[in-house]
Amino acid sequence: MADEPTPTADLIRAQLRRMRATAHLSQEEYGRRANYSASMVSAVELGQRPLDEVYLSRADMVFGTGDLFVSLLKLAARDGEPTWFRPWLEAERAAKQLRCFEPMLIPGLLQTEDYARAVIRGDVTLTEDEVEALVAARLARQAILDQEHPPQVTTVLDESALRRFSEEHATVMAGQLSHLIQFAKRPNVSVHVIPIKVGLHVGLEGSFVLARSDDGGWVGFMDNQLGGTVVDRIEDVETLLARWESVRNVALPTWQSIELIEEVMRSWTT
C-alpha cells in the first residue's frame, strides 16, 4: 500500500522548525522577532495551535521569504476539500465568468467565516478539526474574488436563503447579509434575489454553478447529498444554461435585491 501524502500543514510546520534552526534562533528569540511568545511558537510548531495568515506573514518577514509561507497556507487549505470537489475547484479558479444559483443557502464564494462554520457544522458526523479544515478551504476559495483580474460573478438566490437560520444565529445572519450587500456593490459581482412571492420556479429542484473559461466554454457543478457532480457534457451544460436563464428571469434586479437583503438584515438585528 502506498504511503499517505503528508498534509501540507505538517510540511509548513517542519519548514518553520528547519528555518528557525538554520537561523540559529531559539523559540524565544524567534518569538521576540515575530512578536509572539515562546510558548506560542512551540504550540504552532507542534501542531497544538492552528496555522494562520498573520503568524505565517510574520514568519515570511523574519526569514525574508517573501510570501512563501502565506502561499503555502493557501495550499494547505485545499487539503480540507474532498477529492471529488477538486476538479471543480480548478474550473472555478480559471473561470472568467461564474453563474451561481442557490435556493437554500448563501453561495460558498460569498459566505462569511461564521456563516460557513454554522453551515458545515450541520453535518454532525464531522469532528471539530474537520469542520475547521473545511471552513478554511471554503474561505481560501474566495481569494479569486480579490485577485487583480477577478471573474465576473453573477449570483441568483432564493429569498428563503436570507431567512433560513434560527434565532440563535441572528448575529451570524446579520453579518452574512451585510457581507453579501458589500459584495453586491462590487463592479464584478451581481446579486439577484428571487422573492418568495414568485412561488414555484424551476430552480427549486437544486443549486448549480456554471463557469466560463478563457476559450468561452462552459462547465457546471451540482451539489448532492453524497458529494457533487462536475457537468461537462454539452447537452447537460446546455440544460443548466437554460435553467439559469429561467431563474435569472424571475429574480429581482440588483438594486431591488439589495433593498430586499437590507430589509431582511434589519429583521435579524431587531
Mean per-residue pLDDT, 104-123: 93
Checking if the pLDDT of 167 tops 90, the result is no
Task: Clarify whether residues 73 and 117 are in a common domain.
Answer: no
Domain-located, residue 251: yes
Domain-located, residue 40: yes
Task: Clarify whether residues 44 and 161 are in a common domain.
Answer: no
Of 78, 96, 122, the residue that ends a domain is: 78
Checking if the pLDDT of 83 tops 70, the result is no
Mean per-residue pLDDT, 18-35: 93
Domain-located, residue 2: no
Domain-located, residue 3: no
pLDDT of residue 77: 66
Task: Clarify whether residues 147 and 248 are in a common domain.
Answer: yes
Mean per-residue pLDDT, 119-143: 86
Task: Clarify whether residues 163 and 72 are in a common domain.
Answer: no
Task: Clarify whether residues 66 and 109 are in a common domain.
Answer: no
Instruction: Say if residues 208 and 155 touch (Cβ distance below 8 Å).
Output: no
Q: Which of 109, 106, 224, 125 is nearest to 169 (CA)?
A: 106
Of 78, 96, 112, the residue that ends a domain is: 78
Question: How large is the C-alpha radius of gyration of the chain?
Answer: 21
Instruction: Say if residues 101 and 244 touch (Cβ distance below 8 Å).
Output: yes
Cα 251 to Cα 157: distance, rounded to the nearest angstrom? 8
Domain-located, residue 130: yes
157 pLDDT tier (thresholds 50, 70, 90)? very high
Q: How far is CA 201 from the centre of its chain?
A: 27
Q: Which runs of E-coded beta strand occur in 33-128?
A: 97-102
pLDDT of residue 81: 64
Q: Which residue has the higher pLDDT, 158 or 68?
A: 158
Mean per-residue pLDDT, 124-135: 85
Task: Clarify whether residues 112 and 62 are in a common domain.
Answer: no
Task: Clarify whether residues 259 and 179 are in a common domain.
Answer: yes
Task: Clarify whether residues 22 and 51 are in a common domain.
Answer: yes
Instruction: Say if residues 19 and 51 touch (Cβ distance below 8 Å).
Output: no
Structural domain including 54 reads: 8-78
Q: In total, how many domains does the chain have? A: 2
Cα 126 to Cα 254: distance, rounded to the nearest angstrom? 37
Task: Clarify whether residues 98 and 72 are in a common domain.
Answer: no
Instruction: Say if residues 203 and 248 touch (Cβ distance below 8 Å).
Output: no
State the chain's maximal CA–CA distance in angstroms. Answer: 67
Cα 106 to Cα 188: distance, rounded to the nearest angstrom? 18
Cα 154 to Cα 191: distance, rounded to the nearest angstrom? 6
CATH of the domain at 19: 1.10.260.40
4 pLDDT tier (thresholds 50, 70, 90)? very low
Of 78, 102, 127, the residue that ends a domain is: 78
Cα 257 to Cα 232: distance, rounded to the nearest angstrom? 31
Task: Clarify whether residues 133 and 73 are in a common domain.
Answer: no
CATH of the domain at 143: 3.30.870
Checking if the pLDDT of 192 tops 70, the result is yes
Domain-located, residue 134: yes
Domain-located, residue 260: yes
Verdict on whether the full-model pTM lies above 0.85: no
Checking if the pLDDT of 240 tops 90, the result is yes
- Pairing state between β 227-231 and 218-224: antiparallel
Mean per-residue pLDDT, 124-153: 87
Residue with cell 430586499: 260
Mean per-residue pLDDT, 215-226: 84
- Residue 97 phi/psi, 5° resolution? -145, 135
Cα 214 to Cα 162: distance, rounded to the nearest angstrom? 33
- Pairing state between β 97-102 and 208-212: antiparallel
